[in-house]
Amino acid sequence: MSTADDTVVSLRGIRKRFGGNDVLNGIDLDVRKGEVLAVLGSSGSGKTTLLRCVNALEQPDAGTVRVAGTAIDYTNKPRYRTTLALRRKTAMVFQNYNLFAHKTVLQNVTEGLTVVRGVAKHAARERARAALHSVGLDGFDDRYPNMLSGGQQQRVSIARARWRSNRT
């Protein structure tokens, strides 16, 4: 078990049921800063549901989710502000990358920074270029999603997610 200082994600007693099917049944998990974790399982075993519970895209039926110091206890209905605070500390890359087809790579990465976070456009472009560099996409700023391979689209999506939080 990790200490409170280095744990960035902690799940306790997470339960999720869909109809008569227990998808998650008392999941406990700690992820430390810098740790890489793989969630493996057969189709329909709850991998995506677990990840969606971590960033409050799916509400567990019971348990506690803590991300970078923000906790949601699902014994009671969570407050919207707490849920929003937790979501702001996480990012998730789905199998469908949801890039804006009419925007360039750089625009796709800066959109959330400028619109959601209110970051100045110049600063957002600098952060986006650093994120694109970190995934090996230097010089791709002016390309559109249809000009990229599937793997490159995925890396744009990862770059877009990386600016959100350095902690998780």
Q: Is residue 54 part of a domain?
A: yes
Distance CA 133, CA 72 (A): 34
Q: Is residue 126 part of a domain?
A: yes
Q: Is residue 55 part of a domain?
A: yes
DSSP class of 149: -
- Contact call for residues 110 and 125 (beta carbons, < 8 A): yes
Overall number of domains in the chain: 2
Range of the domain at 41: 7-87
Choose between 116 and 142: higher pLDDT.
Answer: 142
Q: Is residue 82 part of a domain?
A: yes
Same domain, 24 and 72: yes
Q: Helix (H, G, I), strand (E, B), or coil: what is residue 36? A: coil
Threshold 0.95, pTM exceeds: no
The residue from 87, 115, 130 where one domain ends is 87
Same domain, 11 and 72: yes
Q: From its phi and psi, is residue 124 left (phi > 0), alpha (psi between -120 and 50) or beta?
A: alpha
Specify the pLDDT at position 168: 46
Q: What is the pLDDT of residues 126-162, one digit of tens each?
A: 999 999 999 999 999 999 998 887 778 888 998 988 7
- Contact call for residues 155 and 128 (beta carbons, < 8 A): no
Close Cβ partners of 129 (under 8 Å, ≥ 6 residues apart):
106, 138, 141
The residue from 87, 119, 146 where one domain ends is 87
The amino acid occupying position 135 is V
Same domain, 39 and 76: yes
Q: Is residue 98 part of a domain?
A: no
Q: Is residue 65 part of a domain?
A: yes
Q: What is the pLDDT of residues 66-85, one digit of tens each?
A: 999 889 999 888 788 888 88
Q: Is residue 96 part of a domain?
A: no
